[in-house]
Amino acid sequence: MGVSGSGKSTIGKLLSQEFNIPFYDGDDFHPKENIEKMSSGRPLNDKDRQGWLEALNDLALKELKKSNCIIVCSALKQKYREILIQNIETQSEWIYLSGSFDLISKRLNSRENHFMPSDLLKSQFDILEEPRDALRVDISLSPNEIIKTIKRVQTETTEFGIFGLGVMGKSLCRNLAKSGFKISMYNRHVVDTEVEVAKNFKTQFSELSEAKAFDDIAAFVNSLQQPRLILLMVNSGKTIDLVIENLLPHLSENDVLIDGGNSNYKKTKERFDYLKSKNIHFIGAGVSGGEKGALNGPSIMPSGDKEAYALVQPYLEAISAKDKNDLPCCTYIGSEGSGHFIKMVHNGIEYVEMQLLAEVTTILEALGQNPDAISDTLGSWKNAASSYLLDITALLLKKKDNDGDWLVKKILDIADNKGTGNWTTIASAELGVPSTLVATALFSRFISFYKDERRQLNKLFDKNETSELNLTSTEILEAYQFARIINHYQGFKLINEASNTYKWNLNLSEIARIWTNGCIIKSILMQDLVETLKYNSNLLTNTELIDSVNQYKSAAKKVVQQSLLNDIATPALSEAIQFLNGITTTYSSANIIQAQRDFFGAHTYRRRDDDSGKSYHTIWDKLTNNY
Ligand code: 6PG
């Protein structure tokens, strides 16, 4: 397409020869009344054009039944182009021959016996609506250079595909394109709700000008060089399996599918095994950092087979965030679903960090601080406890609603969740690991869900708000820091236990390193853990952390004690202390549990004075009849 004189017929005929496909000049399809009108110097109106455009659309539909074709037509307005590609939107490509008024006017007027009144050419430029989703070619190039450009773009396969253009998918496309990769983008076509998503997205950002956009799966897959690398950015669960089934018929051996969603690690292993049986590689990659992180550099946690990782490594490491040594916050995590497992634990740690910030905010509010003051208090903690979540919480507290009041005070106090915290708690229970803080944070969200019951019970139970509440910012900070150390200890303990159980041989220090930037739980604490975890998988045996815990514990107890006496709910801050007390108790009360179990269930017990592991059972005196 293009204005008169942009070279449509010349280029169309050359392309036809180059690709050996039929060529049609749209002007040959005008009805005779249009020809008569134009010959008499009267411009066509949209009504005249309607029939003509429909005739060209019919021609295209007919030709596409056989193979394909090239049709040249000025198609200056978007609505003309929509008629021309009606019902073949996903099978048509626009090539826009773009040139300046002066260049085209000069060319036209230099032709013998061909004089185009400049006002006629001007009227074309006046109504031209440049296409958003066309391959734009500058006609200052020679015809051969134009053909070469078109051929390169049309036949050139791309090197990386993104399937699913939701918030994260779009950000990752832009990140990949900005990083210089030739990508293909796909989004499904859903009547009325998802129409030409990829094509429209492509037109919104200059970095996508070379990207290919599809809503046809076959065309999308065929646009990719082999072995194909396809990143799936779709909802976890059944959707992934449906997408895999839709892709499989178009894939070839050794192609790689990467699941970048928050999928369950067990399902990732199943998909890995299923696709392995079809000689397709499957990588489960946790991606953390939200929309901005995906755009500017997420933390990426890929797992699967190393051979497949080697194929995707250049792309994932290029787009990932970088650590303080400018190394990618992306590394091969391990086999099977270990990448999604640690992403799940990442979210578990995230839940607790968020819960702790919510609790310290509650305490600071109870001390009489308004959201602005609380924000300033959290901001004053930046040196000691800097983290992405601390920073955003300080920021969001200051946000005002349209009426000037604090927005946070208007947000309904019912916390949602997408399930990753549940999975972490379930995984902990299945592995027998006491991740008590993520469970506490998760169940705090569930408690918040029962808003009506909370309102009802609040009326039935007195709240004691008269006890002393006299805490300094430093004391609250130390309680917060105390609980964060326990949180990170529990998170890495869970990963380590899973690594041993599933024989993943995970590198805890490397995991901490890729969490030092790009992800939601990045913090200066995480920076410190990179070194710590090189030598010890149990953070509570590290001297510096022991010293910190001992230093913070008295403040933590004071904060929890005063909150408790004032009936302020601080489940995570409290649990952190209780957990430490439990995990540092040499002789716990579990002996009573064992005795009870043996009493009523003869479940046996072991003795402290017999380390052979022998099991004992006692016939305990029967209880009197009145039990
Ligand atoms: C991340 C986030 C991301 C998502 C959360 C939401 O690492 O980028 O964790 O994965 O926003 O999973 O979790 P909830 O909805 O469960 O709070």
Q: How far is the CA of 527 from the centre of ligand 1 (A)?
A: 21
Judged against a pLDDT cut of 90, whether residue 157 lies above it is answered with no
Q: How far is the CA of 288 from the centre of ligand 1 (A)?
A: 8
Residue 1 in domain = no
- Count CB atoms within 10 A of the CB of residue 306: 11
What is the residue with the minimal CA distance to atom 11 of ligand 1?
290
Residue 428 in domain = yes
Q: What per-residue confidence (pLDDT) applies to 87?
A: 87
Q: At what angle do helices 473-502 and 420-431 cross, to 10 degrees?
A: 60
Q: What per-residue confidence (pLDDT) applies to 465?
A: 65
CATH number reported for the structural domain that contains residue 123 in this entry: 3.40.50.300
**CB of 171 closer than 6 A to ligand 1?**
no
Across the chain, mean pLDDT equals: 93
Segment among 206-220, 355-369, 521-535 with least mean pLDDT: 206-220
249/130 same-domain check:
no
What is the per-residue DSSP string for 457-476?
HHHHS-----S-----HHHH
Q: Residue 121 — pLDDT band, cuts 50, 70, 90?
A: confident
77/186 same-domain check:
no
Residue 14 in domain = yes
Residue 199 in domain = yes
Q: Residue 468 — pLDDT band, cuts 50, 70, 90?
A: confident
pLDDT tens for each residue of 602-611: 999 999 999 9
More confident position, 424 or 68: 424
379/519 same-domain check:
yes
Catalytic residues: 343, 350
- CA separation, residue 485 to residues 91, 287, 359, 574, 610 (Å): 56, 24, 16, 14, 35
Integer Cα distance of 79 and 575 in angstroms: 63
169/214 same-domain check:
yes
- Cα dihedral sign for 315, 316, 321, 326? negative
pLDDT tens for each residue of 71-99: 999 999 999 999 999 988 778 888 999 99
Judged against a pLDDT cut of 70, whether residue 624 lies above it is answered with no
Q: How far is the CA of 510 from the centre of ligand 1 (A)?
A: 21
Number of domains the chain contains: 4
Residue 2 in domain = no
**CB of 348 closer than 6 A to ligand 1?**
no
Query: In ligand 1, which atom is closest to the CA atom of 415?
Result: 17
173/292 same-domain check:
yes
Q: What per-residue confidence (pLDDT) applies to 540?
A: 97
**Position 494, amino acid:** L
Judged against a pLDDT cut of 60, whether residue 116 lies above it is answered with no
Give the mean pLDDT of 558-575: 96
The residue from 98, 121, 154 where one domain ends is: 154
419/477 same-domain check:
yes
Burial letters for 449-476: b for 16+ Cβ neighbours within 10 Å, e otherwise? eeeeeeeeeeeeeeeeeeeebebebebb
Q: What per-residue confidence (pLDDT) applies to 109?
A: 80
DSSP-derived 3-state class of residue 394 = helix
Using a 10 angstrom Cβ sphere, with 0-12 exposed, 13-18 middle and 19 or more buried, the burial of residue 173 is buried
Domain range holding 178? 158-336
Give the mean pLDDT of 486-512: 97
Q: What per-residue confidence (pLDDT) applies to 37?
A: 85
Residue 76 in domain = yes
Which DSSP state fits 320? S
pTM for this model (two decimals):
0.81
**CB of 519 closer than 6 A to ligand 1?**
yes
What is the residue with the minimal CA distance to atom 1 of ligand 1?
288
pLDDT tens for each residue of 206-244: 899 889 999 999 989 989 998 999 999 999 889 999 999
Ligand 1 pocket mutation pick from 292, 414, 520 by most atoms within 8 angstroms of CB: 520
Residue 99 in domain = yes
**CB of 425 closer than 6 A to ligand 1?**
no
306/377 same-domain check:
no
Three-state SS sequence of 40-83:
CCCCCCHHHHHHHHHHHHHHHHHHHHHCCCEEECCCCCHHHHHH
Percent of the chain residues past pLDDT 90, beyond the cut: 82
**CB of 417 closer than 6 A to ligand 1?**
yes
Judged against a pLDDT cut of 70, whether residue 366 lies above it is answered with yes
407/521 same-domain check:
yes
Q: How far is the CA of 535 from the centre of ligand 1 (A)?
A: 30
320/363 same-domain check:
no
Judged against a pLDDT cut of 80, whether residue 112 lies above it is answered with no
Q: Residue 510 — pLDDT band, cuts 50, 70, 90?
A: very high
Percent of the chain residues past pLDDT 70, beyond the cut: 97
Q: How far is the CA of 602 from the centre of ligand 1 (A)?
A: 45
* Token output for 197: 């998503």
Query: In ligand 1, which atom is closest to the CA atom of 520?
Result: 7
328/375 same-domain check:
no
374/322 same-domain check:
no
**CB of 487 closer than 6 A to ligand 1?**
no
Using a 10 angstrom Cβ sphere, with 0-12 exposed, 13-18 middle and 19 or more buried, the burial of residue 114 is exposed
What value does the CA radius of gyration of the chain take, rounded to a whole number of Å?
A: 33
Integer Cα distance of 216 and 130 in angstroms: 24
pLDDT tens for each residue of 296-306: 999 999 999 99
Q: How far is the CA of 580 from the centre of ligand 1 (A)?
A: 27
CATH number reported for the structural domain that contains residue 179 in this entry: 3.40.50.720
CATH number reported for the structural domain that contains residue 618 in this entry: 1.20.5.320
Residue 3 in domain = no
Cβ distance 71 to 13 under 8 Å? no
Give the mean pLDDT of 394-407: 96
**CB of 421 closer than 6 A to ligand 1?**
yes
Query: In ligand 1, which atom is closest to the CA atom of 290?
Result: 8
201/323 same-domain check:
yes
Query: In ligand 1, which atom is closest to the CA atom of 347?
Result: 9
Judged against a pLDDT cut of 60, whether residue 341 lies above it is answered with yes
The residue from 312, 336, 360 where one domain ends is: 336
Q: What per-residue confidence (pLDDT) applies to 466?
A: 74
More confident position, 490 or 65: 490
Integer Cα distance of 560 and 98 in angstroms: 70
What is the residue with the minimal CA distance to atom 14 of ligand 1?
417
Query: In ligand 1, which atom is closest to the CA atom of 419?
Result: 16
**CB of 350 closer than 6 A to ligand 1?**
yes
Q: Residue 114 — pLDDT band, cuts 50, 70, 90?
A: low
Judged against a pLDDT cut of 80, whether residue 155 lies above it is answered with no
pLDDT tens for each residue of 53-63: 999 999 999 99
The residue from 106, 136, 154 where one domain ends is: 154
More confident position, 574 or 624: 574
Residues 6+ apart with CB under 8 A from 625: none
Strands 70-72 and 23-25: parallel
- Residue 525: in which H helix or E strand, if any? helix 524-535
**CB of 347 closer than 6 A to ligand 1?**
yes
Q: How far is the CA of 347 from the centre of ligand 1 (A)?
A: 6
CATH number reported for the structural domain that contains residue 508 in this entry: 1.10.1040.10
